[in-house]
Structure 1
Amino acid sequence: MKKFFRRYTPNPSELKNHKNLGWLGKHLHNASLWNFNRKSISKAFAVGLFCAFVPVPFQMLLAAPAAVVFSANLPISVALVWITNPLTMPPIFYGCYKLGAWILSVGIEQDFIMSLDYVWQVFDIIWQPFLLGCLIISVMSSALGYFGIQIIYRYKAYKRVNQF
Structure 2
Amino acid sequence: MSTIVARIRAWGQRNMPTREQMERSRWVPKSVLRSELWRFTRRSVPRGVALGLLVGILLPFAQIIFAAILSLPVRANVPIASATTFVTNPLTTPLIWAGAYQIGNLVLHIDNEAGGAIDRLFALTDMWSAIEWLTAEGKSLALGLVIVAVVSASLGYLVSGWVWRWWVGNKRRVQQRGRRA
TM over 0.5: yes
Structure 2 residues without counterparts, runs of 5 or longer = 111-132
2:76 corresponds to 1:72: yes
Q: For the Cα contact (< 8 Å) 1:13–1:29, is it kept in 2?
A: no
Structure 1 residues without counterparts, runs of 5 or longer = 107-119
Q: Determine the structure 2 residue equivalent to 1:151.
A: 162
Identity among equivalent positions (%) equals: 27
With over 3 angstroms needed to count, the CA separation of the structure-2 counterparts of 1:162 and 1:15, relative to structure 1, is closer
**Which one has the bigger helix percentage?**
2
Q: For the Cα contact (< 8 Å) 2:55–2:63, is it kept in 1?
A: yes
Q: For the Cα contact (< 8 Å) 2:52–2:67, is it kept in 1?
A: yes
Q: Determine the structure 2 residue equivalent to 1:113.
A: none
Q: Deviations over 1:17-68 (max 9, x none)?
A: x3x324x342144122211122111111010011111143232232121112
- How high is the TM-score relative to the length of structure 2? 0.66
CA–CA distance in 2 between the matches of 1:62 and 1:144? 21
Q: Which amino acid aligns with 1:73?
A: N
CA–CA distance in 2 between the matches of 1:52 and 1:14? 20
Q: Secondary structure at the match of 2:68?
A: helix
CA–CA distance in 2 between the matches of 1:60 and 1:156? 26
How far does residue 158 in structure 1 lie from its aligned partner after superposition?
A: 3.6
- How high is the TM-score relative to the length of structure 1? 0.71
Q: Determine the structure 2 residue equivalent to 1:58.
A: 62
**Alpha-carbon RMSD:** 3.0
CA–CA distance in 1 between the matches of 2:74 and 2:161? 16
With over 3 angstroms needed to count, the CA separation of the structure-2 counterparts of 1:25 and 1:83, relative to structure 1, is same
CA–CA distance in 2 between the matches of 1:47 and 1:137? 13
Q: For the Cα contact (< 8 Å) 2:32–2:69, is it kept in 1?
A: no
With over 3 angstroms needed to count, the CA separation of the structure-2 counterparts of 1:10 and 1:80, relative to structure 1, is closer
Larger Rg: 2
With over 3 angstroms needed to count, the CA separation of the structure-2 counterparts of 1:71 and 1:21, relative to structure 1, is farther
